[in-house]
């Protein structure tokens, strides 16, 4: 006797108008010996889990699909090699059996019923939600599991199964759609203002080796001084005007920070006037128009100029000169309700100072913990024009003026 040729069993038409089925579990393994009509695999259709019998006898030489894998009708399912050439397979039984698959070409309904069982022995599951009472017909627990793992709502999947049943292939199609579909998005074109701001900020970050330092400052004395100068008819200068006055004084003491850098000629160009930029969040976006000649103004004059400038800037009415002339920028980001910031320098300037919220915090005064009005002052500077010592001295002068404002104002 000689070795017989292997026989490949193709997945048959399961008789439900379906084009594929999924392997639920194999009932045999490669190397096992099977008889004709022996169930070898359970496959899942849209309506039931079916035990598929082998039409051949012999040794299983190959299983063509893994559990959970989908096999198309007419594609290889299992390969069986007869034990010897002389092996004779039984003829189909009168009621339909043998090498004609039960339920697939035979007229024996009793045999079909023996090997076909509805999933979970119950009708299609009705998936309900609290927000949508419309039922979703799902027979297979595998379909429900696939949808759950992919975070898919079964109500949103178009069913193709008989009677509106959601099948495994329906879920797989939806999963493929998720992988290829673009995320919902809104495209907002950059305005001319945004394009200009983007260019300045990008150039600043690309060209300037910036460094940031900060210090917590006790502003209680300044807070009290401002309150003391108010009258029913005159509110007096605001806190920002006082801060601006201290900043201007600091720039006079450290003029290298009121400059720009000529990279091509390797020169620091110090301005002989302080045009103090004030960061303003307005309708067009964030701008930093300048109070022109801020170094020649009193605190009261600075207050009036800042109020006028910020009011116009918020509605986009700062002049082109004001928007371009700044030599140094003061950023009051505390007005936005935040405590600190590592700001981007407004190119071609070389530094920027900012103040966070003034809030009550526990503070040690003369060895006692007391509530004080504390603000965080941050300073970002171009490390090419100065070192940390200059930056720290500039900040310390301003911090000292805030903490003991009356002598500072008298000196100014």
Domain boundaries, the chain: 7-119, 123-178, 192-411
Separation between Cα atoms, residue 288 and residue 380, nearest integer Å: 16
pLDDT of residue 101: 40
Q: Do domains 123-178 and 192-411 have the same CATH topology?
A: no
How many C-beta neighbours within 10 Å does residue 225 have? Answer: 17
Confirm if 171 and 146 have CB atoms less than 8 A apart: yes
pLDDT of residue 282: 81
pLDDT band at 37 (very low <50, low <70, confident <90, very high): confident
pLDDT of residue 96: 38
pLDDT band at 183 (very low <50, low <70, confident <90, very high): low
Confirm if 227 and 284 have CB atoms less than 8 A apart: no
Query: Does residue 51 sit in helix, strand or coil?
Result: strand
Whether residue 133 is predicted with pLDDT greater than 60 in this model: the reply is no
Q: How far is CA 363 from the centre of its chain?
A: 39
Is 64 in the active site?
no
| Architecture of the domain spanning 123-178 | Irregular (4.10)
pLDDT band at 191 (very low <50, low <70, confident <90, very high): low
- DSSP one-letter string for 161-214: STTSBPPHHHHHHHHHHHHHSPPP----PPPHHHHHHHHHHHHHHHH--EEEEE
CATH tag, 192-411: 3.30.559.10
Whether residue 105 is predicted with pLDDT greater than 50 in this model: the reply is no
Mean pLDDT of 56-80: 92
Q: 27-36, 186-195, 223-232: which range is least confident on average?
A: 186-195
Mean pLDDT of 26-47: 85
Q: Model confidence over 363-374: pLDDT tens digits? A: 999 999 999 999
pLDDT band at 158 (very low <50, low <70, confident <90, very high): confident
| Architecture of the domain spanning 7-119 | Beta Barrel (2.40)
| DSSP collapsed to 3 states, 253-270 | HCHHHCEEEECCCCEEEE
Q: Count Cβ neighbours within 10 Å for each residue of 358-385 and write b for 16 or more, e otherwise.
A: beeeeeeeeeeeeebbbbbbbbbbbeeb
Give whichever of 28-37, 230-239, 353-362 has the largest mean pLDDT. 353-362
Confirm if 309 and 296 have CB atoms less than 8 A apart: no
pLDDT of residue 181: 59
Q: Rg for the chain (alpha carbons), in Å? A: 41
Question: Encoding tokens for residue 107?
Answer: 């007229």
Mean pLDDT of the chain: 83
pLDDT of residue 110: 38
Q: Model confidence over 193-224: pLDDT tens digits? A: 677 788 888 999 899 999 999 999 999 999 99
Q: Which residues contact 195 (CB under 8 A, 6 or more apart)?
A: none
Q: How many CA atoms lie within 13 A of 136 on its CB side?
A: 22
Q: Count Cβ neighbours within 10 Å for each residue of 166-204 and write b for 16 or more, e otherwise.
A: bbbbbbeebbeeeeeeeeeeeeeeeeeeeeebeeeeeeb
pLDDT of residue 89: 47
Q: Is 32 exposed, middle or buried (0-12, 13-18, 19+ CB in 10 A)?
A: middle
Q: 119-133, 137-151, 348-362: which range is least confident on average?
A: 119-133
404-to-69, 330, 358, 378 alpha-carbon distances in Å: 78, 20, 16, 19
pTM of the model: 0.56
Q: If we measure between CA atoms, which residue out of 371, 355, 351, 354 comes closest to residue 363? A: 371
């Amino acid at each position: 006797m000689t070795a017989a040729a292997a026989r490949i069993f193709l997945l048959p038409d399961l008789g439900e108008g379906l084009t594929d089925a999924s392997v639920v579990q194999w009932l045999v393994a490669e190397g096992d010996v099977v008889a004709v009509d022996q169930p070898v695999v359970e496959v899942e259709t849209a309506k039931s889990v079916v035990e598929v019998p082998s039409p051949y006898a012999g040794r299983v030489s190959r299983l063509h699909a893994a559990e959970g894998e989908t096999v198309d009708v007419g594609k290889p399912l299992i390969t069986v090699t007869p034990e010897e050439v002389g092996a004779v397979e039984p003829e189909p039984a009168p009621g339909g059996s043998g090498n004609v698959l039960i339920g697939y070409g035979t007229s024996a309904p009793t045999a079909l019923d023996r090997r076909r069982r509805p999933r979970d022995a119950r009708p299609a599951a009705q998936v309900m939600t609290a927000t949508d009472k419309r039922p979703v017909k799902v027979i297979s627990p595998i379909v429900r599991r696939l949808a759950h793992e992919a975070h898919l709502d079964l109500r949103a999947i178009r069913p193709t199964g008989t009677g509106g049943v959601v099948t495994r292939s329906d879920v797989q199609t939806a999963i493929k759609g998720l992988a290829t579909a673009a995320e919902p998005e809104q495209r907002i074109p950059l305005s001319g203002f945004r394009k200009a701001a983007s260019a300045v900020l990008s150039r600043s970050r690309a060209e300037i080796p910036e460094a940031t330092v900060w210090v917590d400052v006790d502003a209680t004395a300044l807070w009290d001084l401002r309150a003391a100068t108010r009258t029913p008819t005159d509110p007096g200068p605001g806190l920002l005007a006082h801060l601006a006055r201290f900043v201007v004084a600091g720039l006079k003491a450290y003029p290298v920070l009121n400059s720009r850098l000529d990279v091509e000629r390797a020169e620091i160009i110090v301005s002989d006037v302080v045009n103090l930029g004030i960061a303003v969040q307005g309708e067009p976006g964030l701008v930093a128009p300048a109070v022109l000649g801020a170094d020649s103004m009193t605190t009261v004059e600075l207050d009036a100029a800042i109020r006028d400038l910020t009011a116009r800037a918020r509605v986009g009415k700062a002049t082109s000169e004001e928007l371009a002339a700044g030599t140094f920028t003061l950023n009051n980001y505390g007005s936005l309700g935040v405590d600190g910031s590592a700001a981007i320098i407004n190119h071609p300037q070389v530094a920027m100072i900012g103040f966070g919220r003034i809030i009550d915090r526990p503070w040690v005064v003369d060895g006692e913990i007391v509530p004080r009005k504390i603000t965080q002052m941050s300073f970002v500077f171009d490390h090419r024009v100065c070192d940390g010592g200059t930056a720290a001295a500039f900040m310390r002068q301003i911090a000292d003026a805030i903490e003991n404002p009356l002598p500072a104002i008298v000196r100014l």
